């Protein structure tokens, strides 16, 4: 990676100001060490005299992209029973590879929601120490869930006594598990409020934790200053999580009007993975996804997309979350075009993946926008993605913490 001894001035035909939702033409971003010290219309900026310059021309500058729902740890090419042969150590080594792919796709920050053995904490720390390349990670440790629920492992019969680390039942047990995750380095708490698509034997629409357990879990996490993400497909689980004060709901497939109103009233973020269904139904069988899971996906996929349209229209706060790991890491950007197809403006989709995600993480004074005083996480896309969102699938320039980690021939 290239760090610059002098300040770096990057110029480009345009820049996206995610806060105002406007495009600034003839733009520049000024970076000093790991920080942005100026950004905006070139004419309006004081350009330092001794700076290096990078003149990009027909490119669009924007903040480093953020994905709020990834699973970097694990073998992303195999699902179902094929996962049982992968050790925790091997899963982490896959994670090293996946972290680099994610960064190269322009995602400079991710929220990793669920990993075994605090491998996500190790991956985060190795990246922060500069030992390996990857995005800035906010991690959950093992996801909490009820016995036999979506966050448990239900593939093996009773006599194998297999159980995921995050299984916790009852208000005090979930509080204990939250405390343990915090002890070993979690930044965020993830729990499963309902059944899921890829878990064996769970009803995707059925609530799992009781509201009493959700309230205990979320109260405990908030007490300690962490935010909470809830996996939820079914309507009653979504509503219970929102009423219990959850910060973001993941997937959010089966909504009704009341759920949308509740999310608006509570300021809850939705993280809706509207690309992954194409991969599951297209490639999933080959990758080992169980037939019962494919059947569940056929039920929720298209409903989720229509509900995405409704939620966007109603003005629910939205972040960008993909579930990468179910599909190949590095393909995260494919979701942008789908978000527009299912009802967002291109600007809204970019805001979801920048300023909205930064705000959900309570990092909006640090990440998520191009302005003085923010970390120098910057990406550039050839052309204008507001005219063609598929351009977000190939990011030409990636800068993280002021280091150029990727630069295509320009
Ligand atoms: N991890 C999620 C689950 O197993 C994936 C759901 C994907 N489907 C969708 N339409 N978003 O439930």
User: How would you write the pLDDT of the chain (410 residues) with one tens digit per residue?
Assistant: 555 678 999 999 999 999 999 999 999 999 999 999 999 999 999 999 899 999 999 999 999 999 999 999 999 999 999 999 999 999 999 999 999 999 999 999 999 999 999 999 999 999 999 999 999 999 999 999 999 999 999 999 999 999 999 999 999 999 999 999 999 999 999 999 999 999 999 999 999 999 999 999 999 999 999 999 999 999 999 999 999 999 999 999 999 999 999 999 999 999 999 999 999 999 999 999 999 999 999 999 999 999 999 999 999 999 999 999 999 999 999 999 999 999 999 999 999 999 999 999 999 999 999 999 999 999 999 999 999 999 999 999 999 999 999 999 87
**The domain boundary residue, chosen from 323, 338, 360:** 360
Ligand 1 center to 305 CA (angstroms): 12
393 and 374 inside one domain: yes
Indicate whether 195 belongs to any domain: yes
Output the domain CATH number for residue 42: 2.30.40.10
First CA to last CA distance, the chain = 17
- Residue 28: the pLDDT is 98
Indicate whether 1 belongs to any domain: no
118 and 222 inside one domain: yes
Ligand 1 center to 177 CA (angstroms): 24
Ligand 1 center to 78 CA (angstroms): 15
59 and 82 inside one domain: no
Mutation pick for ligand 1 pocket among 251, 271, 284 (CB with most ligand atoms within 8 Å): 251
Pocket lining: 197 vs ligand 1, CB cutoff 6 Å: yes
Pocket lining: 67 vs ligand 1, CB cutoff 6 Å: no
191 and 338 inside one domain: yes
35 and 153 inside one domain: no
Indicate whether 2 belongs to any domain: no
- Residue 5: the pLDDT is 74
156 closest CA partner among 219, 199, 111, 212: 199
- Residue 209: the pLDDT is 98
List Cα–Cα distances, 367 to 200, 238, 259, 374, 378, in angstroms: 38, 28, 30, 6, 10
Instruction: Name which residue sits closest to atom 6 of ligand 1, judged by CA.
Output: 197
Task: Indicate the SS3 state at residue 378.
Answer: strand
54 and 72 inside one domain: no
- Residue 4: the pLDDT is 62
Is the ipTM here above 0.85?
yes
Pocket lining: 273 vs ligand 1, CB cutoff 6 Å: yes
Indicate whether 140 belongs to any domain: yes
- Residue 30: the pLDDT is 98
Ligand 1 center to 159 CA (angstroms): 28
- Residue 409: the pLDDT is 82
Ligand 1 center to 198 CA (angstroms): 7
Residues in the chain: 410
Mutation pick for ligand 1 pocket among 252, 323, 324 (CB with most ligand atoms within 8 Å): 323
In the DSSP assignment, the letter for residue 72 is -
List Cα–Cα distances, 53 to 131, 162, 271, in angstroms: 28, 57, 37
Domain that holds residue 397: 8-63+369-407
Indicate whether 350 belongs to any domain: yes
Indicate if 362 belongs to the active site: no
37 and 170 inside one domain: no
Instruction: Name which residue sits closest to atom 10 of ligand 1, judged by CA.
Output: 301
Pocket lining: 17 vs ligand 1, CB cutoff 6 Å: no
198 and 56 inside one domain: no
Pocket lining: 202 vs ligand 1, CB cutoff 6 Å: no
Output the domain CATH number for residue 248: 3.20.20.140
Going 225 to 230 to 257 to 336, the CA torsion angle's sign is: positive
């Amino acid at each position: 990676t290239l760090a610059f001894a002098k300040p770096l001035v990057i110029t480009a035909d345009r820049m996206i100001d995610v806060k105002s939702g406007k495009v600034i033409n003839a733009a520049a971003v000024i970076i000093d060490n790991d920080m942005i010290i100026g950004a905006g219309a070139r004419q309006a900026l004081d350009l330092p005299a001794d700076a290096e310059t990078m003149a990009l021309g027909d490119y669009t500058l924007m903040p480093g992209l953020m994905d709020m729902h990834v699973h970097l740890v694990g073998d992303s090419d195999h699902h179902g029973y094929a996962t049982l042969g992968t050790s925790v150590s091997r899963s982490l080594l896959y994670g090293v590879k996946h972290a680099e792919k994610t960064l190269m796709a322009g995602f400079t920050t991710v929220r990793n929601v669920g990993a075994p053995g605090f491998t996500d904490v190790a991956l985060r720390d190795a990246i922060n120490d500069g030992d390996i390349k990857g995005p800035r990670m906010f991690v959950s440790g093992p996801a909490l869930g009820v016995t036999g629920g979506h966050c448990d492992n239900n593939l093996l019969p009773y006599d194998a006594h297999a159980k995921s680390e995050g299984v916790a039942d009852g208000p005090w047990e979930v509080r204990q598990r939250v405390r343990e995750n915090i002890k070993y380095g979690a930044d965020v708490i993830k729990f499963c409020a309902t059944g899921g698509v890829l878990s064996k034997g769970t009803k995707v629409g059925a609530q799992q934790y009781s509201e009493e357990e959700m309230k205990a879990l979320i109260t405990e996490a908030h007490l300690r200053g962490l935010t909470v993400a809830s996996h939820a497909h079914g309507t009653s689980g979504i509503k219970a999580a929102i009423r219990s004060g959850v910060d973001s709901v993941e997937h959010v497939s089966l909504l009704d009007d009341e759920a949308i109103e509740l999310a608006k009233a509570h300021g809850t973020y939705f993280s809706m993975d509207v690309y992954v269904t194409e991969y599951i139904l297209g490639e999933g069988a080959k990758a080992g996804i169980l037939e019962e899971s494919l059947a569940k996906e056929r039920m929720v996929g298209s409903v989720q997309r229509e509900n995405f349209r409704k939620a966007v229209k109603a003005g629910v706060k939205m972040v960008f979350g993909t579930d990468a790991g179910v599909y190949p890491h590095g393909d995260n950007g494919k979701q942008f075009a789908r978000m527009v197809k299912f009802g967002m403006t291109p600007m809204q989709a970019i805001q979801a993946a920048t300023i909205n995600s930064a705000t959900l993480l309570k990092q909006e004074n640090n990440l998520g926008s191009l302005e003085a005083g923010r970390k120098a996480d910057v990406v550039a896309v050839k052309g204008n993605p507001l005219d063609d969102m598929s351009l977000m699938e190939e990011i030409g320039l990636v800068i993280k913490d002021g280091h150029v980690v990727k630069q295509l021939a320009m």
